Amino acid sequence: MATKPRILCFTHQAHQDLSSSQLPSDGPWVAVSSPEQALHEIANGNVGGLFVAPDAIEDFERILQKERVLDEMPQGVALLDTNNCILWANRQLRIWAERQVPGSRVTGTAFYAALNRPTILGPDFCPFATALATEQPANSLLRTEDNCYFDIHAVPVIEHRELPESLLVTISDVTQEKLQQERLEAIHAAGSELADLSPEEIFHMEMDQRIDLLKSNILHQTMNLLDFDVIEIRLLDQKTHQLTPLLSVGLKPDASDRPLYAKASGNGVTGFVAATAKSYLCEDTTDDPLYIEGFEGAKSSMTVPLIWHDEVIGTFNVESPEPRAFNDNDLKFLELYAREVAVALNTLELLVAQRANAAQQSVEAIHSEVALPVDTILNDAVNVMEEYIGHDPQVRKRLERILRNARDIKRVIQKVGQRLAPAEAVPAGMKIDKHARLRDARVLVVDADESVRNDAHALLERYDCIVETTHTGREAVLMVRCSDPPYDAIISDIRLPDMNGYDLQCKLAELMDPLPLILMTGYGYDPAHAIVKARRAGLHPKAVLYKPFRLDQLIGTVETILEVYSQVGSS
């Protein structure tokens, strides 16, 4: 015989205080004092009706009103019992559950089962148990089989008992946000792969091979990651402002070969973007004043600048046969990808021919960080060697080995620095072969000013000189004494911390004959008359540099001294 359905009595009074007139006419009945209890009983089944006692009518009306509000929320809302069973779910959650398990009954179903048992991604892998145990909110992220993402937030509900009686769970669909995040991560990963080559591989590749490699990677990533079929990338010549095609796919030949310049008008969207450094979204090509047809039948396009170190180096353009095919999110993704392309262009040195000082900048950057510290090692080594003259020969041998190794290290660094930018980047008027005499010339620079010593490395080493520096006259004497082979030129300031230029000349003359010395001086007063005395003692008439001097004056003076003293040495 079937059990008779129960009647729920929603009341705030104890059941023994209820008068018979207040109770349902027939039973059995169960008194509940909270909506959670009522939902729990309903979820368990065998409930034939609900009786609301007079003392609970107002509360019941408020509950119904709140339920209507919750039911219309765009987020999912559910009330769970302590076994994670759904006692009540709003309309949005029922829609999501129907999409995951068609025809399913949400109420009375385990929460995860209602969503077809999604994968829990964390950070809390047991959010409901955590919320019940800690009586604190808990969060987690779910991923369903159809690649939808839901952020769930569970809050324990505590009313008349000491322990939580149920859980209030809110569910937000974060699929778009998560997919955008994954796309951003994919763009970054793809950008890192654009120029994923070791320095050795890059060095042994010809320029055309580097270009082809980058073009292939960009094309693959753009089509597969961003789903664009019509692509055009142009590089900006900083001198002529012409935008030269690097990569063109899907455009008409006359369009890809069309001369374009970085100008805000008359050069299409590409010229505008290059001139203004602003991205441009063309939603409808038929009525856009800037658009010039590139892809036959194109209805929309978007173009972003390629920027490296706040400078426009080119443009990235994509087009579609559909009007309004791109939105602000697409533009944002293309901008992010364009940054990676700009980094790859720089990494593979495709732009060095357009930046005339790239080779010099590469060498200067390395030596500004490394050259002076290596000089300090050399200076310290010769100072220690001076103390060990006549003492332990093994210590002296080790110090001599340190000197050789330090010099070898610096020489290797210099050569690597020169390889960072190919010879095409050096301006025609500054080709190293025009100053062949400077190549491998050993030059010692003596100056207390660190910027002068640093500049000496930067200016002379671009012509393949071997430069070492000291900041006192005493260190210069020790460096000369320990130099093998001897220096080809010595450049010294006339005012050193421990002596003047003439005094240094006298000390060095005891070690070198002839002495290829160049003295630097300002135009101010020379109280020690160092230049006059030095000239009387044999300083070459053209061996004086007046600060501040130009690069051509420095190079010319060093070449003169190298020429003069090479002839003296060979006679």
Kindly list the distances between the CA atom of residue 55 and the CA atoms of 12, 16, 33, 51, 163, in Å, as whole numbers in the listed order: 7, 15, 11, 12, 26
User: What's the mean pLDDT when you consider all of the chain?
Assistant: 78
Residue 351 has pLDDT above 90, yes or no: no
Q: Round to whole Å and give the CA distance between 532 and 537.
A: 9
- The arithmetic mean of pLDDT across residues 35-48, rounded, is 58
Phi, psi of 186 (to 5 degrees): -65, -40
Kindly list the distances between the CA atom of residue 476 and the CA atoms of 189, 332, 347, 379, 451, in Å, as whole numbers in the listed order: 51, 58, 40, 9, 18
- The arithmetic mean of pLDDT across residues 498-512, rounded, is 94
Amino acid at site 233: I
The continuous run of DSSP H or E covering 231 comes out as strand 230-236
- pLDDT category at 516 given cuts 50, 70, 90 is very high
Q: Round to whole Å and give the CA distance between 120 and 106.
A: 20
Residue 432 has pLDDT above 60, yes or no: no
Query: What is the CA angle 545-547-550, rounded to 5?
Result: 80
Residue 415 has pLDDT above 90, yes or no: no
Q: Pick from 408, 407, 414: which is nearest to 368 by CA? A: 414
Q: Pick from 141, 96, 146, 93: which is nearest to 120 by CA? A: 141
363-403 per-position pLDDT tens digit: 556 556 777 788 888 888 888 777 766 666 777 777 777 77
3-state SS class at 515 = coil
The string of DSSP letters for 489-510 reads EEEEESB-SS-BHHHHHHHHHT
Crossing angle of helices 328-347 and 207-225, rounded to 10°: 160
The continuous run of DSSP H or E covering 168 comes out as strand 166-173
The residue ranking higher by pLDDT, 446 or 374, is: 446
- pLDDT category at 428 given cuts 50, 70, 90 is very low
300-332 per-position pLDDT tens digit: 999 999 998 889 999 999 999 999 998 888 888
High-pLDDT (> 70) share of the chain, %: 69
Position 353 scores a pLDDT of 42
Spell out the long-range contacts of 202-210 with Cβ–Cβ below 8 A and sequence spacing 24 or more.
202/347, 202/348, 202/349, 203/419, 207/349, 207/350, 207/422, 207/424, 210/348, 210/349, 210/350
**What's the whole-model pTM score?**
0.41
Strands 517-521 and 544-546: parallel
Kindly list the structural domains of the chain, giving each domain's residue range(s) and its CATH number in brackets, ordered by start. Answer: 1-70 (no CATH), 72-173 (3.30.450.20), 183-354 (3.30.450.40), 358-570 (3.40.50.2300)
The residue ranking higher by pLDDT, 565 or 548, is: 565
